[in-house]
Amino acid sequence: MNMNSLFKEKKIERNLVERTINDLAGIASGMFIESQIKSPKDLTKFKNPANGLPILIPCIPIIFDYYEKFFIDKSELQKLIFGSVNSSYVGCKLALESNTFAKNFRLKTSFQKKLNAYIEDILLTRQRVQTFVKEYTFVGAFQTRNIPHLGHEKIIDKMLDFCELVVINPMIGPKKNGDIDPAKLGGLYEAVLKPRYKNRIEFLPIRANMFYAGPREAIHHSKIRQWLGFTHFSVGRDHAGAEGVYPQNAAIDMVKKCQGNLSIEIITHGGAFYCSQCGNAVLQDQCNHSKDKLKQISGSNFRHALNLKKTYPFASSDVQKWASKNFDHLLT
């Protein structure tokens, strides 16, 4: 095996271990207690997308002293979690490394310290959210894995019409290649955006894995924020999607369909654009001008511009200045 292949294999193993400890922490903290799968029959309730995503613990001898194992067909899981996508889809490769899963397991002592730290991190996040709600009453969670552009600022503006405080609440865990490490964005929000919004925003990540499962994951994310104690959560046109595999607005349609099963209020938006007629960034539902006047604002394009050390026309200058200075540090 050459060095590149060995490095890739080790990275996959590290990601799998990290994802597994994240999920174990989510179960132990209570966040995923209703989502854990201990046998194939437990998958039945997840045929209803209102129940979100199943959480399965893969058999990884490197982290367990003992476990009992069970099997689930990979194609069955792929269809249930991701729908009709190809097995080469990034979400499948990230989340479906195994078809052998563990129950009644015992973690090795060498991993227990990390697990305990992750459990504490999740519980402290929940405690902080509940403190925010006591102080402000209506507190919304905005999940993003990107450096904020003008579109993100418009989403925050919309959320502040419903909420007294908006918490930037990215998910901390292994991501697909090229994504920004959201835990490192706190400095940007503190230095640039928090003063602009007169302290009506906070930055508080939650330790949980991304699946890139689109509409079904929008429900999963809503249930996480509900458990944390938020009163509102934002879902956009391609929430938790990647590679363009899910239809536009499928996530919005899903959360609207399942809103009756949630106690958290969902704020939806159809994406952000720059309107040449308005001369400003707008959300799709806030502008009636024709499509030829609208240019899509993209986090991926913003990252690409930063990588090339170019200016992105749809991000504020102070954000770009901070992001350009710190870009290499921000990548996963």
Determine the average pLDDT of the residues in 64-88: 93
CA distance 299 to 147: 7
* Same domain, residue pair 152 and 109: no
* Same domain, residue pair 181 and 231: yes
On average, the pLDDT of the chain sits at: 91
The residues annotated as belonging to the active site are 144-146
Contacts with 249 (C-beta within 8 Å, 6 or more apart), sequence order: 237, 270
CA distance 316 to 140: 23
Which domain covers residue 64, as residue numbers? 3-116
Q: What domain count does the chain have?
A: 2
pLDDT tens track for 155-179: 999 999 999 999 999 999 887 777 7
Rounded alpha-carbon distances, angstroms, from residue 87 to 93, 139, 271, 312, 327: 7, 38, 27, 34, 31
Contact 249, 285 (CB under 8 A): no
pLDDT tens track for 10-44: 666 788 999 999 999 999 999 999 999 999 999 99
* Same domain, residue pair 103 and 168: no
Is the pTM higher than 0.95?
Answer: no
* Same domain, residue pair 102 and 160: no
Listed residue (87, 11, 19, 86) closest to 53, CA to CA? 19
pLDDT of res. 271: 86
Q: Residue 73 domain-assigned?
A: yes
* Same domain, residue pair 20 and 97: yes
Q: Residue 62 domain-assigned?
A: yes
CA distance 120 to 11: 26
Dihedral, CA of residue 264, residue 180, residue 146 and residue 92, to nearest 10: -60
The dihedrals phi and psi of 244, each to the nearest 5 degrees, come to 65, 25
CA distance 26 to 35: 10
Residue showing tokens 């099997």: 71
* Same domain, residue pair 18 and 101: yes
**Cα-Cα-Cα-Cα dihedral sign, residues 123, 128, 132, 138:** negative
* Same domain, residue pair 70 and 171: no
Contact 284, 249 (CB under 8 A): no
* Same domain, residue pair 144 and 78: no
* Same domain, residue pair 91 and 207: no
The dihedrals phi and psi of 308, each to the nearest 5 degrees, come to -90, 5
* Same domain, residue pair 223 and 308: yes
pLDDT of res. 7: 42
Contact 271, 283 (CB under 8 A): yes
* Same domain, residue pair 173 and 319: yes
Q: Residue 130 domain-assigned?
A: no
What tokens appear for 264 in the block?
């958290």
Amino acid letter for position 52? G
